[in-house]
Amino acid sequence: MRLKLKIWRQAGPGTAGRLVDYAADHVSPDMSFLEMLDVVNEGLVKQGHDAIAFDSDCREGICGMCGLVVNGIPHGPDRGTTVCQLHMRRFRDGDTIVIEPWRARAFPVVKDLVVDRSALDRIITAGGYVSVNCGGAPDGNAIPIAKEVSETAMDSAACIGCGACVAACKNASAHLFMSAKISHLSLLPQGQIERYRRVVAMIEQADAEGFGSCSNEGECEAVCPKEIPISNIARMTREYFRALWVGGR
Amino acid sequence: MSSRFGVFSSSVGTKILIGVTGVALFLYLVIHIAGNLIVFLGPAAFNRYAFVMEYGNPLLPVIEIGLLLIFLLHVYKAVTMFLANQQARPVAYVKKKYAGKPSRKSFASSTMIFSGLWLLFFIIIHVKAFRFSPEYPWPAGGRDLYRQEMENFVSPLTAGFYVLSMVVVGSHLWHGIASAFQSMGADHPKWTPRLLTTGKVIAVLMAGGFIVIALWAHFVGART
Ligand code: SF4
Ligand code: FES
């Protein structure tokens, strides 16, 4: 396959970036999207040019490190898929592909397609933890919890913190990410101690980081590689109501 | 939590307020259209209805002021949220596309701020025309609201403006009805999908109902 690529190049955080055209001429349909970029980079390095910077780690859709906006959709056209799990067979010979970084005030560009997502870490630090000593693995039946509840918690825990929800949202809101973490912890017995403090602290932190609010469009849910539903955002609001009622910290 | 009031300035608190005030305004709209449909029963019934609502109603000033405050809060919160959200993405995407199902994004959802501002403009003109304009007395008591309405719709320009504005109402409700419930944290595996559909149906019925009234007043009522 031969592809035309338009890739965002930006030297550093404060500088202006722009789309640069590249040709990818020897692309196999079996390659992953990131392997395709690796090949482009090899060519660039051979010619003595600067390689295109992009993030990745596990390359199997579980770590949340990768993240590119491919033709206007974070993580590309496939639903429930990280961009490292996107394959070139999804494209056709001669296609033009526009590749941009996550764009949000809270995610400053480090270089090219790499953005600083530590704002999400600070949201977790603000409340996404449990302070009970978990000790050894408890007996499965010792913690009474309904199957549907534990499954909903588990589905929320599947969030890999990639930030695609922020990238997709017209308001660059982190509500889906926060709501996944808050749902995961508030549904489980271990998360009860900080339950009310957590939701308030995480929301305050996200607002302070400069993420936007939520307009209930659900673009986030559509691009989330773990298909976290926006029903979690409604749950986060209910948790917020409860915290308000109980009085918070 | 620093204060219970400061909570409503957070991103989630803002949503809650816009949702709650939105539902209140929607409920008012339901009463409004129900009352307006009485126009089809003729001047006597319509003016009688207006009389009962306006003169036989000691709560009227409270309701009016309450409604105004709810309206202003809705507008204020929505505008400040919109401006803050604009700040959240200083560099725009070169290419951005609809992500596909299950996204609820629509033309209506993307233009809420514009439909809202249009309605703000419309409501000022509308309230001026029916609440703060010279009135005709009606012999049986109160004012001849029927005549006032028919005269309002004589001009094709006014009728056209009303019809267009009601399309905008429909658009605002198309996203707004279900969105308000989500904003208040109301979500249910079975009821939310139904609400999403019902909200759109109600939006169409509501806009359609008002449009029929405006067109009828222009083409039929104003000429008889
Ligand atoms: S909610 Fe989904 S899109 Fe958002 S950070 Fe988690 S995994 Fe990524
Ligand atoms: S590189 Fe780990 S999820 Fe893509």
Tell me the pLDDT of chain A (249 aa) as tens digits.
999 999 999 999 989 999 999 999 999 999 999 999 999 999 999 999 999 999 999 999 999 999 999 999 999 999 999 999 999 999 999 999 999 999 999 999 999 999 999 999 999 999 999 887 767 777 777 878 899 999 999 999 999 999 999 999 999 999 999 999 999 999 998 899 999 999 999 999 999 999 999 999 999 999 999 999 999 999 999 999 999 888 744
- Determine the Cα–Cα distance for residues B81 and B113; give it in Å rounded to an integer: 10
Q: Using the mean position of ligand 2's atoms as its centre, give its distance from the Cα of residue A15 in Å.
A: 27
pTM: 0.94
Of A110, A137, A164, the residue at which a domain comes to its end is A110
Task: Kindly tell me if the per-residue pLDDT of B3 is higher than 60.
Answer: no
Between residues B224 and B143, the one the model is more confident about: B143
Q: What is B112-166 written as a DSSP string? A: HHHHHHHHHHHHHHHHHHHHSS---B-TTSSB-HHHHHHHHTTSHHHHHHHHHHH
State how beta strands A69-70 and A96-100 pair.
antiparallel
Mean pLDDT of chain B: 93
- Specify whether A105 is located in the same domain as A143: no
- The residue range of the domain holding A78 is 3-110
Specify whether A147 is located in the same domain as A61: no
Strand partners, A18: A9
Centre a 10 Å sphere on the Cβ of residue A133 and count the other Cβ atoms it contains. 5
> Which residue in A166, A169, A211, A237 has the most chain B C-beta atoms within 10 A of its own C-beta, making it the best mutation to test that interface?
A237
Whether A47 and A126 map to the same domain: the answer is: no
Å between B82 CA and nearest CA of chain A: 8
Per-residue pLDDT at A248: 46
Do residues A65 and A85 make contact, with C-beta atoms less than 8 angstroms apart?
A: no
**Which domain-ending residue is among A110, A135, A161?**
A110
Complete domains list, chain B, with CATH: 8-88+106-223 (1.20.1300.10)
Domains held by chain A: number? 2
Q: Is the domain of A158 the same as that of A77? A: no
Only one residue has tokens 């033009």, namely A96
Q: What is the pLDDT of residues B14-50, one digit of tens each?
A: 999 999 999 999 999 999 999 999 999 999 999 999 9
Residue B138 has pLDDT above 60, yes or no: yes
Which residue lies with its CA nearest to atom 2 of ligand 1? Answer: A224
CATH number, domain containing residue A85: 3.10.20.30
Statement to judge: residues A29 and A94 lie in one domain:
yes
Say whether A212 and B87 touch across the interface (CB within 8 A).
yes
Same domain, A214 and A139: yes
3-state SS track over B83-119: HHHHHCCCCCCCCCCCCCCCCCCCHHHHCHHHHHHHH
Q: What is the CATH number of the domain that holds A216?
A: 1.10.1060.10
Tell which A residues from 192 to 231 touch B, by Cβ distance under 8 Å. Answer: 200, 203-204, 206-207, 210-219, 221-223, 229-231
CB proximity A249 to B under 8 Å: yes
> What tokens does A170 get?
């017209």
Q: Tell me which residue has its CA closest to atom 6 in ligand 1.
A: A159
Q: By CA distance, what is B86's nearest residue in A? A: A171
A235 shares a domain with A138:
yes
pLDDT at B63 over 90: yes
Task: Based on the fold, state whether residues A216 and A146 are members of the same structural domain.
Answer: yes
Q: Are residues A123 and A89 in the same domain?
A: no
Query: Do A151 and A86 belong to one domain?
Result: no
pLDDT (0 to 100) of residue B5:
55
Question: Same domain, yes or no, for A121 and A103?
Answer: no
CB contact under 8 A, B7 and A244: yes
- Domain identity same for A131 and A166: yes
Final residue belonging to a domain, choices A110, A142, A170: A110
Strands A3-9 and A96-100 come out as parallel
